[in-house]
Structure 1
Amino acid sequence: MSGNSSVGTSGVYEAGDQRNVKASELNKATPYEEGKEHSHKPNDSKDERSIANRLANEERKEKEGDHDDPMTAAQKKDPTLPAQLHGNEPSKGAKIDAELQAEDEAALKKKSGK
Structure 2
Amino acid sequence: MSSNVGNPSLYEAADQRTVSDKHIEQEKKDNRFHEGKEHSHKAQDSKDERSIANKLERESKREGEEEEKSLEDRQRDQDATLPARAHGNEPSKGAKIDQELREEEEAELKRKGKA
Same fold per TM (> 0.5)?
Answer: yes
Q: Which residue of 2 aligns with 1:27?
A: 33
Cα separation, 1, equivalents of 2:57 and 2:74? 27
Q: Give, in angstroms, the shift of residue 61 of structure 1.
A: 2.8
Aligned pairs (5 A) from 1:71-86 = 71-86=72-87
Is 1:56 equivalent to 2:57 in the alignment? yes
TM superposition shift of 1:79: 0.4
4+ residue runs of structure 1 moved beyond 3 angstroms? 43-48
Q: Which amino acid aligns with 2:28?
A: K
Structure 2 alignment gaps of length 5 or more: 2-26
**Normalized per residue, which structure has more helix?**
2
| Shift in alpha-carbon separation, 1:53–1:83, aligned structure 2, 3 A | same
Residues 106 and 46 of structure 1: is their aligned pair in 2 closer, same or farther, counting only changes over 3 Å?
A: farther
Which runs of 5 or more residues in structure 1 are unaligned? Answer: 4-20
TM-score (norm 1): 0.62
Q: Which residue of 2 aligns with 1:87?
A: 88
**What is the RMSD of the two structures over their aligned residues, measured on CA atoms?**
2.8
Structure 1 residue 29, shift from structure 2 partner: 4.2
- Work out the percentage of aligned pairs sharing the same amino acid: 46
Q: Secondary structure of 2:98's partner?
A: helix
Moved more, 95-104 or 21-30: 21-30
